[in-house]
Structure 1
């Protein structure tokens, strides 16, 4: 996980450094950074909501499929995926923004935990010396030093009260970090500090830090409530029951609050910005994607899917491959002659061997059909 955070944190840190150099305030830099990533990812957001709106148009057909295959869930799933394929709708498109936001969050965590590295661009050797100085007074650093995830934040805090100990460090360390400490704030609260439910004193900073996790949870709840209300309005028949939906709607913001109390306030502040911008974009796209406009878009996308299928008759999408493979396995599973072997006169070990051979043959046929490589050794290991 640390490797992934560092890998993503390097380019995001470079971007944050540029933004910070322009605005000279870390909280403002986070706001601009969040807006920039939202604009960059707008095509993904648009496609996701467009496909969701198009799926709403297909709801009458999906309802008919549900009635037709009420007692056969596997067949219903197959027919539904065929319908989506014909319409040119990618059922995985809704997952992409979530994964992208997750990776960005890893990078943001890395940047906020290591502002001396990513924002001030000070070398690791100087940072090691600075952490060594701070570790003389901070027991938490004395144990792990630079391996401590909060080492840079703790060093910055220590420097603010013990500046004379850092004046000898190279790369103008003392001046850079001192100036940055003053701008690493939002309304006077240090974004490097972790919010607490029980601060030593209820100062202005403590109140602001205390409020950030709850604002992060409320902003996420705003999106969840709005999305559910919009779905009910657009598709009142096919909205799931309240149980699991309510758990997700209230559970995720609660998890956000708990998480925000465990990490520096800068991460919670980023979460607030991310949720607010997400709500604005979601609301704007919902206003743009009116039923009339979605019908026009749907016809164009359906025609594009038809033309593509005609030009590439042998090319199958990932979902089609999965559907066909699952169908083959289901057929083999449900075939009494191949699954039970009750009338075959074979022993159990012979039946298992026969089933393995058939499964191997099915995998081989699928590989040959789509031009994939096939290795018998993998089946032997299975």
Structure 2
């Protein structure tokens, strides 16, 4: 086990126990992976919701920020100071929006390590045999699926990126939006390429998790639109 895997084992081992429990309960590794992914994503949902609320809060006083940027364009130091004063007045911490992602990253990386090499973190003999089970058209979930799963994962990733962009894009973020547009096409292609070499079980995790994200983002888009309409009506 590499040093990186040893560090990730702090998170991966408890997740391995959960996956073993699900497998022994369901007796199907593919379905256990899907249930496992949905459970993990559901646990991470409050963090995602926190990010959305933070972005709504940011948009509430975005016009004030733009006014400060225009007024103090000649003095960047003073402009930043005025923006920080505005954050303080609005009781808003811009770093709070990054916190959920920072918390999620070690969990997601641990999941990646666990599902790429489950034998290193699971000592249940029955489970160790289960990782080689067939599921749907895949003869062995420990081996790559050359096309179907990676393509499905790539399509799901493209849809997820599209929904996320529609949720976060603003007119004053031209360069950022351009980069996001590039990632919208590049990242799904990368997922297809990686999915063709990673174990099919890991690709199932990514595909299932991304489907969950699509539903989650769609629901939060509707909630956010309703929230912003309420704010405009009350303005």
Using structure 2 for the length normalisation, give the TM-score. 0.82
1:65-80 maps to which residues of 2 (within 5 A)?
65-80=68-83
Correspondence 1:194 to 2:144: yes
**In the TM superposition, what is the alpha-carbon distance from 1:50 to its structure 2 partner?**
0.7
Whole-angstrom CA distance in 1 between matches of 2:128 and 2:70: 68
**In the TM superposition, what is the alpha-carbon distance from 1:245 to its structure 2 partner?**
2.7
Correspondence 1:238 to 2:188: no
**In the TM superposition, what is the alpha-carbon distance from 1:119 to its structure 2 partner?**
4.9
Selected match of 2:40 from 33, 37, 45: 37
**In the TM superposition, what is the alpha-carbon distance from 1:99 to its structure 2 partner?**
3.3
Where does structure 1 differ by over 6 angstroms across 4 or more consecutive aligned residues?
none
Selected match of 1:185 from 130, 135, 140: 135
Correspondence 1:223 to 2:160: yes
User: In terms of Rg, which structure is larger?
Assistant: 1
Correspondence 1:277 to 2:227: no
Whole-angstrom CA distance in 2 between matches of 1:229 and 1:181: 38
- Residues 43 and 294 of structure 1: CA distance in aligned 2, closer, same or farther (over 3 Å): farther
Whole-angstrom CA distance in 2 between matches of 1:253 and 1:295: 35
Correspondence 1:55 to 2:58: yes
What secondary structure, in the 3-state scheme, does the structure 2 residue paired with 1:71 have? coil
Whole-angstrom CA distance in 1 between matches of 2:79 and 2:193: 39
Count of aligned residue pairs for this structure pair:
229
Q: Deviations over 1:102-143 (max 9, x none)?
A: 322332233324444545614xxxxxxxxxxxxxxxxxxxxx
Partner of 1:266: 201
Using structure 1 for the length normalisation, give the TM-score. 0.53
Partner of 1:252: 187
Conserved? CA contact 2:44–2:104, under 8 Å: no
What secondary structure, in the 3-state scheme, does the structure 1 residue paired with 2:144 have? coil
**In the TM superposition, what is the alpha-carbon distance from 1:294 to its structure 2 partner?**
6.5
Conserved? CA contact 2:20–2:127, under 8 Å: no
**In the TM superposition, what is the alpha-carbon distance from 1:185 to its structure 2 partner?**
2.7
Partner of 1:10: 13
Q: State the Cα RMSD in Å.
A: 2.9
Report 1 or 2 for greater relative contact order, CA contacts < 8 Å, sequence distance ≥ 6. 2
- Residues 68 and 225 of structure 1: CA distance in aligned 2, closer, same or farther (over 3 Å): same
Whole-angstrom CA distance in 1 between matches of 2:78 and 2:184: 30
Conserved? CA contact 1:231–1:239, under 8 Å: no
1:1-382 maps to which residues of 2 (within 5 A)?
1-116=4-119, 118-119=121-122, 121-122=124-125, 176=126, 180=130, 183-195=133-145, 209-232=146-169, 235=170, 237-241=171-175, 242-289=177-224, 290-291=226-227, 295=231
- Residues 3 and 291 of structure 1: CA distance in aligned 2, closer, same or farther (over 3 Å): same
**In the TM superposition, what is the alpha-carbon distance from 1:11 to its structure 2 partner?**
0.5
